[in-house]
Structure 1
Amino acid sequence: MDNKQMRADRHKKKKKKRWPSILLVCLLLLGGVTGYAYYQYKQGVNQSLKKLNNDKKDTNVVYDFSGQKDQYGDTNVLLLGSDARGNEKSRSDTIMILHYNENKGTFKLTSIMRDSYVSIPGHAKHKINSAFARGGPELMRQTIKQNFDIDLQYYAIVDFQGFAQLIDELFPNGVEMNVEKKMSANVNPPLEPGQQKLNGPQMLSYVRFRHDAIGDFGRVERQQKAIKAIKDQLSGLKTVAKLPKLIGVVTPYINTNMPTTDGVFMAKEFLTGDQNIETLRIPIDNSFTEPRISGEGAVLEIDVEKNKQALHQFITQ
């Protein structure tokens, strides 16, 4: 065997010895990252548990939910804002659908106004927000499917206080917002008009205020405006690094059937995506009247077919 062949053999042996070392280093790094992420997650959970009111039990309720991807192969998440107090039934005054197209990496948001007067399976016609009190997220899913022909794969019931906690964790210095008017009726803390940075409780006041001339229409508009502002002001990489703790912070305030892996993936896509989030409101303009119904009060009598077409066009465009 010549010297050249001997050198080649020694080089091969060194490469064979090197691979186990590299693999070991990679495994140690992966273990360290996983351990740190879990530590951050637990820190977030414990932080919220210290502040969580003992009378808020909704996150412990186990709901049935027969969800699936929609006919376009996309994922839709039913987002419900809950404000249960004590032994009251939870009220879903905020009803949204988060649409996620994995191929395009895009998110869209549809808000359904709570007073929309629709057919609820097994319960005749009522305001849509009563579907949750009558049958939980599954009946709300069935109601949306029956009226708008769209499937929902997951649900997430978010306690309003969890929203405030998340804002304070994401934005220690507040979210830059233009508060368009004084907001004081039935919200605490009250807000003064003008460009300013809002902390968690202030943002909660902003998205919940509805005691003015345009009522719930204004509230839905502000909710969508707030979500856009949050998305626009997030700093991608720094926020992703905080993702385990952020998930921990909101976990005690959320009841969801979404697997943690899917939730982390979608959260990362949402936080790092550079596209603006598009929004839709149901009912759309010129598709409803506002009669008073005995036993229901003022409702939004909607043109179901017109709104169904608008929703599907919005999702697929």
Structure 2
Amino acid sequence: MRSDRHQHKKRKKRIRWSSIFLLLFFLVGAVALYSYMQYRSGVNDSEKTAEENKQEYQFNGESDRNGLTNILLIGSDARAKETSRSDTIMIASYNPDTESYKLTSIMRDTYVEIPGHGMNKINAAFALGGPELLRQTIKENFDVSLQYYSIVDFEGFVRLMDEAFPEGVEVNVEKKMSEGIGVTLEPGVQRLDGKHLLGYVRFRQDAVGDFGRVERQQNVIKEVGKQFASIQTLPKLPKLVGVVTPFINTNMDTGDILFMGKGLISKDNRNIETMRIPVEGSFENQRVSGAGAVLAIDFEENRTALQSFLTK
């Protein structure tokens, strides 16, 4: 009798755990299906197809010796397969041990040695040999290994901001801006939609030129990171990836993007540390025949500063 009760309890326990397992299985399946449907919804909402304007690039990415995930970010507004210099060059670094994010902007007029092409502005490397030559250039001049690349069409930036922030991103516009950006911005704290936010981060027609533009880009990225964490963005992440995917040419797979994106927006007050190359006091303005106005830098000082920033 006691043995029958014991067997009955064991059967009930097995049934209970089996039910929990099945529930978890179906829950995971439902989440995966929902994520996929949201991702496809984002892709279908875009007017372009994912392959329409994408050029295939060779990229011999290298793993970082310190265990970091370093991504070469390239901002471009080139259409179709036309060749252009990169408008924005950044290194996004993710440390999986500390779950920290760092962002380095390399000013496009930085005068460097481009392998096989001699000295030139660093943004010429992309036009001469795509992301692979730009990767080699950064490795040779700054000894930083890049595992992935991501070329972002500026239209994708606009779509992403509008999808993530339907009411706009709050920005303090420090002065009136209009020349060369396709929109007019008045000074003051305001919410900017994707088109106006893009104009804000691209403006460089003032006394500080590209230095001010780089600072605004970094500030906006940090502010967007904070605002991502302050709203219910995590459930929208698959759709956001789907929205921007047609406008990104990258060797990263969707799983990697979702993993790192989830970590960035799932914690409050996520701090993104930033730096700029060249660092303050390590360069001088020069004019070079064939290249125009360039930033002639102290390579040792900037190499040391960049590696220290990424690994500390």
| Pairwise TM-score range, normalised by the shorter structure | over 0.9
Aligned to 2:21: 23
Q: Would you say 1:69 and 2:63 are equivalent positions?
A: yes
Distance 2:270 2:32 in 1: 29
Distance 1:250 1:139 in 2: 25
Find the partner of 1:269 among 225, 245, 263: 263
Distance 2:67 2:21 in 1: 38
Distance 1:236 1:42 in 2: 25
Taking the TM superposition and a 5 Å limit, the aligned residue runs for 1:108-257 are 108-235=102-229, 238-257=232-251
- Report percent identity of matched pairs: 57
Aligned to 1:96: 90
Letter in 2 for 1:141: R
Question: What is the CA distance between 1:14 and its match in structure 2?
Answer: 1.9
Question: What is the CA distance between 1:67 and its match in structure 2?
Answer: 1.0
Distance 2:89 2:170 in 1: 24
Distance 1:87 1:99 in 2: 28
Find the partner of 1:308 among 268, 279, 303: 303
Change (3 A) 1:271 1:109: same
Change (3 A) 1:53 1:64: closer
Change (3 A) 1:237 1:186: closer
Give the gaps of 5 or more residues in structure 1. Answer: none
Retained in 1: the 8 A contact 2:229–2:270? Answer: no
Retained in 2: the 8 A contact 1:95–1:111? Answer: yes
Retained in 2: the 8 A contact 1:127–1:299? Answer: yes
Change (3 A) 1:57 1:9: closer
Retained in 1: the 8 A contact 2:110–2:297? Answer: yes
Retained in 1: the 8 A contact 2:201–2:217? Answer: yes
Task: State the secondary structure of the residue aligned to 2:170.
Answer: strand
Distance 1:206 1:306 in 2: 31
Retained in 1: the 8 A contact 2:179–2:203? Answer: yes
Range moving further from structure 2, 277-286 or 16-25 = 16-25
Letter in 2 for 1:296: A
Letter in 1 for 2:281: N
Question: What is the CA distance between 1:119 and its match in structure 2?
Answer: 0.1
1:209-242 C-alpha deviation (Å, 9 max, x unpaired):
1111111111101000100110111235721110
Change (3 A) 1:57 1:82: farther
Retained in 2: the 8 A contact 1:236–1:272? Answer: no
Letter in 2 for 1:275: R
Supply the RMSD in Å over aligned alpha carbons. 1.7
Question: What is the CA distance between 1:189 and its match in structure 2?
Answer: 1.6
Taking the TM superposition and a 5 Å limit, the aligned residue runs for 1:284-299 are 284-299=279-294
Letter in 1 for 2:247: Y
Q: Would you say 1:278 and 2:273 are equivalent positions?
A: yes
- What TM-score does the superposition give when structure 2 sets the normalisation length? 0.95
Structure 1 runs (4+) deviating above 4 angstroms are none
1:35-90 C-alpha deviation (Å, 9 max, x unpaired):
11111101100111x2x499x954x2221111122121111000000110355313
Distance 1:87 1:42 in 2: 25
- What TM-score does the superposition give when structure 1 sets the normalisation length? 0.94
Aligned to 2:34: 36
Task: State the secondary structure of the residue aligned to 1:77.
Answer: strand
Equivalent pairs counted in the alignment come to 311
Change (3 A) 1:29 1:86: closer
Letter in 1 for 2:302: N
Distance 1:232 1:286 in 2: 30
Retained in 1: the 8 A contact 2:109–2:123? Answer: yes
Distance 1:156 1:40 in 2: 22
Retained in 2: the 8 A contact 1:83–1:91? Answer: no
Distance 1:297 1:155 in 2: 28
Retained in 2: the 8 A contact 1:231–1:271? Answer: yes
Change (3 A) 1:261 1:248: same
Letter in 1 for 2:40: K
